[in-house]
Amino acid sequence: MKKAIACVLGLALLAGVAQADPIGDAVVEVHAEVVSNISVTPASPIVDVGDIQIGDLIGNIPFIVHANTEAVKIFVTATDLYKGDDPVDPTVPAIPLNLSAGAVIDPTGANVYGGGSNVAPFTTSAQIGDFPAMQTDPIVFESKDNGLFSHDVLVTVQWILSNNEQPQGDYGGRVMLTAEVQP
């Protein structure tokens, strides 16, 4: 008798499992977080800063910065200009970077956060590849756009040629713009 009741209960349970609704659904809440990102590209891979005999040589170097944040910290690294674009074994004195002029950082559509100057002083030794360089202090800029920083950034640096007998020829150096998103 106990076996018969157990069989009936077992069949009833199996019948209950076998009978399901013809459709079912469930909802899961899904989240994704968009994280900050930034890109810096040169507007041109090579910039000709002109001809010089003696005096100040002013270089206007264009970059493009895109970020999905409004505030961006920017600094510049720049080198002297070396004859033959060769800093490793220079046989001719380089045309020195004008450290006292600093680097002017001028983004279209953004201002210095909290006001202040957009001229960053050169303060730290650095390196760009084989080129010895100097790096500026960073400046935080805030975009006029809501939530984005997507602007052309013009960097102006200077070199000083004081030797009126500097050998003629092609001199090369590097200017690098670094940008970092801010919270």
Per residue in 73-107, pLDDT tens?
A: 999 999 999 999 999 987 899 999 999 999 999 99
Q: What is the pLDDT of residue 90?
A: 77
Q: Does the structure show a pLDDT above 80 at 19?
A: no
H or E element in which residue 16 lies: helix 2-18
46-79: burial string, b at 16+ Cβ within 10 Å, e else: eeebeebeeeebebebebebebebbbbebbbbbb
Q: Does the structure show a pLDDT above 50 at 146?
A: yes
* 112-135 pLDDT tens trace: 999 999 999 999 999 999 999 999
For residue 173, give the amino acid letter. Answer: G
- Of the listed ranges 12-26, 101-115, 137-151, 163-177, the least confidently predicted one is 12-26
CA–CA gap between residue 133 and residue 47 (Å, rounded): 18
Task: Enumerate domains of the chain plus CATH numbers.
Answer: 38-181 (2.60.40)
Q: What is the pLDDT of residue 170?
A: 95
Report whether 49 contacts 148 (CB < 8 A). no
| Residue 8 pLDDT class (50, 70, 90 cuts) | very low
pTM: 0.83
Of 153, 151, 146, 142, residue with least CA distance to 175: 153
